[in-house]
Structure 1
Amino acid sequence: MKQPDETVLCILNVPFTTYTENEVIARCTDYAMDQKPHVVITAGPEFVMHAQRDPTLLPLLEGADLITPDGIGIVLAARFHGHSDLERVTGVALAEKLLAQSAARNFRVFLLGASPESNEKALNAVRALYPELVVSGRNGYFDATELPSILEQIRNFEPHILLVGLGQPRQERFIWEHRDALSVPLMIGVGGTIDILAGTVKRAPALFQRMHLEWLYRLLTDPKRWRRQLALPQFAYLAYQERLRKGS
């Protein structure tokens, strides 16, 4: 991970930034104005568990410029390590604030992901909110034969920011494998953010957000997610065991 050691907290070998949300936004804005590609990962407990099972994700983690704590589970685990003030920085919040920054700074933004309908709705919603913003996109339903044309479409658009919503860890692999070919200054995996921008998936109500129970709201509204939620107790157990080892 490409940031000073004093601003990094490792949880189960995943190097999370300890920057506040505002600091992350500022850093991402700087990245978007750079000439070389930068990669930002928003990681919750599910992604950490992916990384435990799949060592091929290690280069992505080591090469990312920032990994933000996306989930209350990461924030709680940080307390095991004495970081009681770690701030959650979610993919949705990051995307929304960077869209506002992009409109103000004349950045071009490309949205890759979601269904054809959701992607188009998200683009229309963003254009309605920020008429001055230059934004384009492409849905996430594609196979290997379409990949060259998608990469060409993104390159031709010359975005400052690429928001990729293909689900984890597919979106992170896509960014990592094509970062040099795309050469976009800032690339971020944002999960289901495009569906939220489109309005096809509703954000958790404010009460759930304040209580950090978005995961419960998503489970209640989409019970098929129950298998994914099994990662949460597994993560909690491993994070606590790590704390015991380091404390001994």
Structure 2
Amino acid sequence: MKKIDILGIPFDNLTKKQFVTEIMNNSDANKKTFIVTANPEIVMYAKENTSYSCLLHEADYITADGIGVIKASHMLNTPIIERVAGFDLMISLLEEANKKNKRVYFLGAKKEVVKLATENVATNYPNIIICGFHDGYFGANDSTIMESVQASNPDFIFVALGFPRQEEWIHTYLKTASKGILMGVGGSFDVLSGKVKRAPKIFQNLHLEWLYRLLKQPTRFVRMLVLPKFLLEVKKVIKEKKVK
């Protein structure tokens, strides 16, 4: 499977449909699977944090969640064929899990958010077995959460703890788990619960979801500053390649 290197992070060059097919095959085979949905913010964080970068290299799949990653891949002449947003991939996996009566666990976000999210899943995907859920307010060394999740025997675990915590938790969980598809989904439970509205289709189609979120939450401006820094780093790589 072809990997596309963006500032040291190996992205999978697959369409959403291909991701879903492979992940569901892994689930049917009870193969442990670690999925990262990475945007420029995650790439830049990994660039500055060696341990996190090493952890990402152990993931089975890394999707390009962010138009900035797609733009960077084209600038580097190694184009990634499709942006695969974490929320969209999660929804597609829920749809497939519903067809196969899979067991799903939801971990993260505020108590009322994760509760609402699971209620909506139960309504929209009635064949899914929701084997448990828990909010994200627990200590990093709280082994009881991990034990409780494993005891529920989930096929899928969606982890909404934000990076790097969600990837670190997944990495630790998979060391002792016998099976499971685990995916970090950031703030997706907020949308799944209905607490936050997804950007209108016109913003999605124009790859301007970031702008919609910024207009709705101006406090995100500081976080958005990572994008120009990310593109500057990509330009540095291009310049170094030309010099060589």
Q: Which TM-score band applies after superposition, normalised by the shorter structure? A: over 0.9
Work out which of the residue numbers 153, 167, 173 in structure 1 matches 2:148: 153
Cα deviation for residue 119 of structure 1 reads 0.4
Q: Which residue in the other structure is 1:164 paired with? A: 159
Q: Which residue in the other structure is 1:141 paired with? A: 137
Gaps (5+ residues) in structure 1?
Answer: none
Residues 40, 188 of structure 1: 8 Å contact kept: yes
Cα deviation for residue 144 of structure 1 reads 4.1
In 1, the alpha carbon distance for the partners of 2:140 and 2:19 equals 33
- Percent identity for Structure 1 against Structure 2: 37
CA deviation digits over 1:118-144, x for unaligned, max 9? 000000000000112101311111124
Letter in 1 for 2:38: A
Go from structure 1 to structure 2 and tell me whether the alpha carbon gap of 1:54 and 1:84 turns closer, same or farther (over 3 Å shift): closer
In 1, the alpha carbon distance for the partners of 2:59 and 2:140 equals 24
Q: Which residue in the other structure is 1:117 paired with? A: 112
Q: Which residue in the other structure is 1:192 paired with? A: 187
Q: How does 1:1-248 map to 2 (within 5 A)?
A: 4=1, 7-84=2-79, 86-135=81-130, 136-144=132-140, 147-248=142-243
Letter in 2 for 1:165: A
Letter in 2 for 1:243: I
In 1, the alpha carbon distance for the partners of 2:190 and 2:119 equals 12
Go from structure 1 to structure 2 and tell me whether the alpha carbon gap of 1:224 and 1:166 turns closer, same or farther (over 3 Å shift): same
Residues 37, 86 of structure 2: 8 Å contact kept: yes
Gaps (5+ residues) in structure 2?
Answer: none
CA deviation digits over 1:161-189, x for unaligned, max 9? 11101011111111112212233421110
What is the TM-score normalised by the length of structure 2?
0.95
CA deviation digits over 1:21-72, x for unaligned, max 9? 1111111111212334210100000000100111111221221111000000
Task: Give the aligned length.
Answer: 242
